[in-house]
Structure 1
């Protein structure tokens, strides 16, 4: 069935249900950023494969909203389909809410599956519809009626993560959560978000490709916790451990009835951005709703000493893989038999040689030449190309080890590249190095520091259309709040920087049809000196891979920039050379030599 046919069928169902506008987001029942195959309804309806995007279907128009990461990809993938692309954040482009406020007529109905729309989004839609004297229809998954042979919901088994990796027991985590509940006078705490549940219970799973998470819901009370999960995913030892913590198992789909049965007069703590609209609507009217950020979000972002040490080991393992990969790539691309996909496979091969490697931590972005201008390009047999001299190859990939997750990007010059490409590469390297060198007072947010990364671009009246960095989960989501680096406000990345947070540093530059450059390290937020001015903090790079010195143009670097690059390359050699053979050490020494 073609995209146009799917849209036509959906409109027929909308007409039968007397729904005038229908929203299909990129979401599962748990507000996950990345979703399992069963939940890829927006991809099914549009053909656009990016990880984020929302469509609004009316009887006259279909709109697809995507952010700056996906402008190029979305435009290419919906070409020829009856879909209008809305580039979020661009001048004159309405938000979904603004669009609905304009297009929705008096008395019309707005529909969506309330399980895949957050409470906060659903309440915003309610306001819009109420102003139009219309109605919300949130109990129907219309896409399910269009989608023949829809993949089933995952039944993959889960696994326990030992305390030698987590650094904290389930008892301790529940105690901290209950302390927050007590402070907020809450009798219960409702959890839809599977990364928060997996972190709390020290479990991981296989329900979402690349992300080791388990589909589940939870309600934490002061004396026990109810966990709604497919029991077949848990082995007997895991069940016994949960039982010892007064964690009781219930069928996955019984969650919504359980919410309906919360006793009136009780109070529940919930996060409006992290529970779905259906959950919110099932809470009885007589139950007090205490709206607070899930405390697990901040707790899990501040890695403990055990986690930090493990993450350092994971970063060294993956940096060794990247150094070996870089050497292989530089020495073999001229043979003409390396493609985007075979290069990606080589990285997987090298990672599989490392102990405790589990899987890639996200879908690999391996892009040559013009493909590297699309920040979230994914190669496929249809788009795969041979790597040739004269352009860049960009590899944005990550690994999940028991010691933690990595997210790394390197861009490599294949042979001699033009002067403008070298200057683009150098600009990105300078941006990365300047942010990494930041010292700042406690209380600062990523918005305060982002100017360090953006200034080299803004001085030239250019910009990159994505955040500079995001938090990284420990074998959870690769994108993790509540802090990040970006100049424009995003509530989920606006928390002050705390010691123990791991945040990426990934500026880039992109020229459609030509090339792209992105360089990404992970940074550990650390406490520095404390004095009469307050607590100073700094950022420690924990990714140890050379920036391709063959693409550096020293003429556009200040002396301070050169010192920062040379110091970083000294660190790379110091950390990685002990894990290389003699030939590899000589090679690494060449690619970490000083720039003058």
Structure 2
């Protein structure tokens, strides 16, 4: 079926059911960011491949709501599909609800699959459309038209030994139950896959790039139950879980577990990470406490073992990045290099490193104008040859058994313009500004975001995405609860958190520049005023300085860069060949 035909088939089902609007979120029953193939619904319906969007279909309009990261990509991919791009004004804001309040007649019916809508979104829809007396239906209009829809993955899972984790499952359950008690709850449902993986020291490959396993958990004060395909785990792993007080039941049995919760119970649920369908199975007599999963905050603060191992992963990753940068510079114009082949070569360099499991996300290898698309993904149709001119942006990451990496570097290929040099310098200045920041305990992400942007604001420049996101430990490359963006999220930046700092400048049709390091929050100074924190640079890879306009930098930025490059050379050079050492020495020369 063509996209036009799929849209017509959905509208036909809507008409039969008397449905005025059908909502398709980018989600699965675990409210994940990255989805198993079975739940890539928006891609199936529209052809749009971005990771975050929402589709709303009525009889006379079909729209895809997406933020600035995807504007150009969406307009290109939606062409001829029957769907129109609706540009979000505020990232992650469900602005389509306001649109529905304007266009829906009183008494309309709105449908969506309750397995793909979070509790908070489901309740928001009900609240904001109440004045229109809207009726809601739980409908899946895709399965009937999705021929050979992918099944749920059957990939094996495994438990990680405590020596690589630093904390047993039993100890983590104790920590979670402590927070449950603080919330006056004697029961807790976990749906989010990264929380499941962290809590039970379990990893897998059910979702591309994220080493997670499709599963749920129901935790009480006395026992913990995992709902998972038992065939995914070995008898030895099942025995380890049993020794830690964990029962294992079938994946599909989670519904029975919820409906049979005793009426006198109080259950703790994360409304942003739990689907509406499961939530509605909980008996009305059970008191519900809506709050963030305890594991979300617990896993964001890395323990000493995780920090030590992450530093090791950064060295491995830095070696691969250095080899890649040298390969690009040595071979451009001599052999055919395209965006796709460059990304494949980078993966080969990473794969040669001990402990490499896979990439942490789809590599963004974006040459010239493609760099202006923050989430660009090269396809056979869009793939271009890298030449000895312009800018080549590469945003990539690796999953290692002892850490997760995420790094962006821009490679000046030659014959660069004055505008490119200024933009490059200002992005670098902003990245350094964020990395070198000293801040008082209690500082939140939106404050770091503003500090990082200031050097660019001085030139009336800005970017449409957040400055940074939390990063997991051999887990999701995007992890909460901390985030560096303009949203006034009241989550303090804690010691042990790993977060990205990645400002950028994007000029459509010309170039994109983003430079990204991961940083660890560490102690800085305690004085008569308050305790201060700082960031330790975890990412270890050279930053090209050939375009840097030194006069645009302050001495503090120059000092930071020189000290950083000295660290990079010291940490990486023992693992490089003599020829690679010479290259790294040239890349890290004092500015």
Which band: TM-score by shorter chain?
over 0.9
Per-residue deviation, 1:416? 2.8
RMSD: 1.4
Give the Cα–Cα distance (whole angstroms) in 2 for the partners of residues 219 and 536 of structure 1.
38
Give the Cα–Cα distance (whole angstroms) in 2 for the partners of residues 147 and 564 of structure 1.
54
Runs of 4 or more above 6 Å deviation: none
Counterpart mapping for 1:140-151 below 5 A: 140-151=139-150
The one of 522, 534, 551 aligned to 2:530: 534
> In structure 2, what is the equivalent of residue 420 of structure 1?
419
Give the Cα–Cα distance (whole angstroms) in 2 for the partners of residues 129 and 504 of structure 1.
37
Per-residue deviation, 1:298? 0.4
Give the Cα–Cα distance (whole angstroms) in 1 for the partners of residues 535 and 182 of structure 2.
32
- Structure 1 residue 582 and structure 2 residue 582: aligned? no
What is the DSSP-based 3-state SS (H/G/I as helix, E as strand, rest coil) of the residue aligned with 1:476? coil
Please identify, of 578-587 and 515-524, the stretch whose mean Cα deviation from structure 2 is larger: 578-587
- Structure 1 residue 292 and structure 2 residue 291: aligned? yes
Give the Cα–Cα distance (whole angstroms) in 1 for the partners of residues 452 and 131 of structure 2.
43
Per-residue deviation, 1:375? 0.5
What is the DSSP-based 3-state SS (H/G/I as helix, E as strand, rest coil) of the residue aligned with 1:144? coil
Give the Cα–Cα distance (whole angstroms) in 1 for the partners of residues 425 and 351 of structure 2.
32
Give the Cα–Cα distance (whole angstroms) in 2 for the partners of residues 422 and 522 of structure 1.
24
Per-residue deviation, 1:146? 1.7
- Structure 1 residue 232 and structure 2 residue 228: aligned? no
> In structure 1, what is the equivalent of residue 549 of structure 2?
553
Equivalent pairs counted in the alignment come to 590
Residue 67 of structure 2 contacts residue 90 of structure 2 at CA under 8 Å; is this kept in 1?
no
Counterpart mapping for 1:318-329 below 5 A: 318-329=317-328
> In structure 2, what is the equivalent of residue 452 of structure 1?
451
Residue 34 of structure 1 contacts residue 51 of structure 1 at CA under 8 Å; is this kept in 2?
yes
Residue 224 of structure 1 contacts residue 245 of structure 1 at CA under 8 Å; is this kept in 2?
no
Per-residue deviation, 1:170? 0.2
Per-residue deviation, 1:183? 1.7
Per-residue deviation, 1:336? 4.4
Per-residue deviation, 1:90? 6.1
> In structure 1, what is the equivalent of residue 494 of structure 2?
498
Residue 164 of structure 2 contacts residue 306 of structure 2 at CA under 8 Å; is this kept in 1?
yes
> In structure 1, what is the equivalent of residue 517 of structure 2?
521
Counterpart mapping for 1:365-404 below 5 A: 365-404=364-403
Give the TM-score taking structure 1 as reference length: 0.97
Give the Cα–Cα distance (whole angstroms) in 2 for the partners of residues 488 and 300 of structure 1.
22
Please identify, of 322-331 and 524-533, the stretch whose mean Cα deviation from structure 2 is larger: 524-533
Per-residue deviation, 1:576? 1.2
Give the Cα–Cα distance (whole angstroms) in 2 for the partners of residues 174 and 563 of structure 1.
45
What is the DSSP-based 3-state SS (H/G/I as helix, E as strand, rest coil) of the residue aligned with 2:492? coil
> In structure 2, what is the equivalent of residue 221 of structure 1?
220
Unaligned 5+ segments in structure 1 are none
Residue 521 of structure 2 contacts residue 535 of structure 2 at CA under 8 Å; is this kept in 1?
yes
Residue 371 of structure 2 contacts residue 511 of structure 2 at CA under 8 Å; is this kept in 1?
yes
Give the TM-score taking structure 2 as reference length: 0.98
Per-residue deviation, 1:325? 0.7
Residue 156 of structure 1 contacts residue 207 of structure 1 at CA under 8 Å; is this kept in 2?
yes
Task: Give per-residue Cα distances to partners, 1:241-289, cap 9 Å, x unaligned.
Answer: 1112222222111212221111112110111111111111111110000
Per-residue deviation, 1:551? 2.1
Give the Cα–Cα distance (whole angstroms) in 2 for the partners of residues 381 and 162 of structure 1.
41
Per-residue deviation, 1:13? 0.9
Give the Cα–Cα distance (whole angstroms) in 2 for the partners of residues 453 and 336 of structure 1.
38
- Structure 1 residue 73 and structure 2 residue 73: aligned? yes
Task: Give per-residue Cα distances to partners, 1:282-314, cap 9 Å, x unaligned.
Answer: 111100001221110000000000000000000
What is the DSSP-based 3-state SS (H/G/I as helix, E as strand, rest coil) of the residue aligned with 1:347? helix
Residue 129 of structure 1 contacts residue 135 of structure 1 at CA under 8 Å; is this kept in 2?
no
Give the Cα–Cα distance (whole angstroms) in 2 for the partners of residues 373 and 129 of structure 1.
37
Counterpart mapping for 1:48-87 below 5 A: 48-87=48-87
Q: Flag the 1:439–1:187 CA change in 2: closer, same or farther, 3 A.
A: same
Task: Give per-residue Cα distances to partners, 1:469-492, cap 9 Å, x unaligned.
Answer: 000011221111111211233x4x
Residue 330 of structure 1 contacts residue 414 of structure 1 at CA under 8 Å; is this kept in 2?
yes
> In structure 2, what is the equivalent of residue 101 of structure 1?
101
What is the DSSP-based 3-state SS (H/G/I as helix, E as strand, rest coil) of the residue aligned with 2:189? strand
Give the Cα–Cα distance (whole angstroms) in 1 for the partners of residues 340 and 292 of structure 2.
41
Give the Cα–Cα distance (whole angstroms) in 2 for the partners of residues 457 and 107 of structure 1.
49
> In structure 1, what is the equivalent of residue 333 of structure 2?
334
Counterpart mapping for 1:346-361 below 5 A: 346-361=345-360
Give the Cα–Cα distance (whole angstroms) in 2 for the partners of residues 238 and 336 of structure 1.
48
Give the Cα–Cα distance (whole angstroms) in 1 for the partners of residues 236 and 513 of structure 2.
47
Per-residue deviation, 1:60? 1.0
Please identify, of 547-556 and 459-468, the stretch whose mean Cα deviation from structure 2 is larger: 547-556
Please identify, of 296-305 and 573-582, the stretch whose mean Cα deviation from structure 2 is larger: 573-582
> In structure 2, what is the equivalent of residue 511 of structure 1?
507
Please identify, of 453-462 and 39-48, the stretch whose mean Cα deviation from structure 2 is larger: 453-462
Per-residue deviation, 1:29? 0.4
